[in-house]
Amino acid sequence: MYEEKSDGELVTEVLNGNDDLFYFLIRRYEKPIFNYIYRLVKHREEAEDLAQETFTKAFFALHQYNHTYEFSTWIFRIALNVCRDHFRRKKFLFFSLNTPVGEEEETEWGDLIEQNSFLDPDGELSNQELREELEKAIDHLPLKFKEVIILRHLEGLSYNDISRITNLPVGTVKTYLHRARKKLREELKDYLD
C-alpha cells in the first residue's frame, strides 16, 4: 500500500508524525544513493556509513524539503554534500578537485566488480579488460567530473537535476560532462576505435 504512494505523499506522512514510513523512502532510493556514493569513495564500509548518514540527515532535515523539487534530487544533493564533507574530513578535497583520488584501493575495486553484470551493448564489451579500463578511467577523473559523469550516465539524471544537485549552472554541468567524456575517450581510445 505504502509502496504505491508518491515521494511527496510519503514525506508528508513522515512530517505528520508517521516516522516509520521513512523506511519506504529509504527502500526506494538506497540503491542509486549507495551506488553513487560507492563509486565516489570506492570503499564498501565507508559507502554504507555515508549512505546511512545521508538518509539520517535527510530524515532530520525533512521539514526543510521543498516539495517543488523532486525528492530524488534532494536526496542526491545530501549524498553529494555528505561525500564532499567526507573528503574534506580526510583532507582530500583540495587534492581531489584537481587531481584524481589515489589508486590505493584498486585491487578491492577490481574484486568487487561482478563478473557477469556488465552488459554488452555492441556485442564487444564482454571483455573484462575493457571493463576494468573503463572503471580505472572514471577513477582517474577529478572529483568534480566524476560527480557529474556518475549522475548523468550511471544514474541517468537530467542536466537540470544535476545542476540542482551540484549547485552548478546547467552550462557548467554540460561543460564538465563534455570534458569528462573527452578525458575518458582519451584513456580508452584503443577500445573505442
Interaction between residue 158 and other proteins (CB under 8 A): no
Tell me the C-alpha distance between 176 and 143, whole Å.
11
Interaction between residue 72 and other proteins (CB under 8 A): no
Q: Which is nearer to other proteins, 4 or 60 (CB)?
A: 60
Tell me the C-alpha distance between 120 and 142, whole Å.
27
- Tell me which stretch binds other proteins (CB under 8 A): 73-81, 90-98, 140-148, 152-160: 152-160
Residue 61's identity, in one-letter code, is: A
Q: Which of 134, 144, 159, 179 binds other proteins (CB under 8 A)?
A: 134
Tell me the C-alpha distance between 113 and 116, whole Å.
9
Please report, as residue ranges, which positions from 40 to 69 form the binding site for other proteins (by CB under 8 A): 47-48, 51-52, 55-56, 59-60
Q: Which of 35, 72, 73, 81 binds other proteins (CB under 8 A)?
A: 35
Residue 143, number of CB atoms within 10 A of its CB: 19
> Residue 139 in contact with residue 101, Cβ under 8 Å?
yes
Tell me the C-alpha distance between 157 and 99, whole Å.
25
DSSP 27-66: HHHHHHHHHHHHHHH--HHHHHHHHHHHHHHHHHTGGG--
Q: Which is nearer to other proteins, 19 or 103 (CB)?
A: 19
Distance of closest approach, residue 182 Cβ to other proteins, in angstroms? 9
Q: Which residues bind other proteins (CB under 8 A)?
A: 19-20, 22-23, 26-27, 30-31, 34-35, 38-39, 47-48, 51-52, 55-56, 59-60, 112-114, 117-122, 125, 130-131, 134-135, 138, 149, 153-154, 156, 181, 184-185, 188, 192-193
